Amino acid sequence: MPNRRTETRHATPGNTCNHFQKYGMTCDDFDRLLARAAGRCELCETPEGETPRGALVIDHFQGDGLFFVRGLICDRCNSVMSRHDRSAAWGPASLPWADKARAYHLAAFEQPTPEEFEQADRYIASRRTYNVKDRHYIPVAPRAALVVRLDRSMTEAARKLRRHLTDRQRARLIELLSRPL
């Protein structure tokens, strides 16, 4: 049975593969996904090395109890798929991609059943499209996820927290940790 100790083929030594931790994909599944993409974004067909990040990302659908991996795409196409999933509004630059995004969604790597696609469509149709103007504040660009391993050295964990948290965030963390259980 796959577990964090067996799914390490694509990770740095001593770590578990990201595709297993975040998406539940075994290394063999990920190899099949890589072969299917053939080094190109599956939506716009831009070669991986020419994408803005220089790498492809795993695209997935998640909602209404469903979760399935659709494929490997570039950051720009990931933005297109967020419009398909109605987490952002279609704009003049992205609207021409609507039909291609739908076809890509229906050709998902993990091959959901027709009933699951219907459930996904109902969920997508029920979503209120996100609009920046709806926000009462201007969001700060999110940072990369911070992972602090508490099963290792506490000194290492503290160092990592000091490096990655703002003074305000550290003060709030100390406040929360000081509260009685």
The pLDDT value recorded for residue 40 is: 95
In the chain, the percentage of residues whose pLDDT exceeds 70 is: 91
Burial class (CB in 10 A: 0-12, 13-18, 19+), 131: exposed
> Rounded mean pLDDT of 85-112?
89
Could you tell me which residue, 181 or 114, shows the higher pLDDT?
114
Tell me the pLDDT band of 144, cut-offs 50, 70 and 90: low
> Rounded mean pLDDT of 147-154?
80
- For the entire predicted model, the pTM comes to 0.67
The pLDDT value recorded for residue 162 is: 81
Q: Report pLDDT digits (tens) over 67-91.
A: 999 999 999 999 999 989 888 888 8
Q: Report pLDDT digits (tens) over 112-135.
A: 999 999 999 999 988 877 665 665
Burial class (CB in 10 A: 0-12, 13-18, 19+), 169: exposed
The pLDDT value recorded for residue 150 is: 80
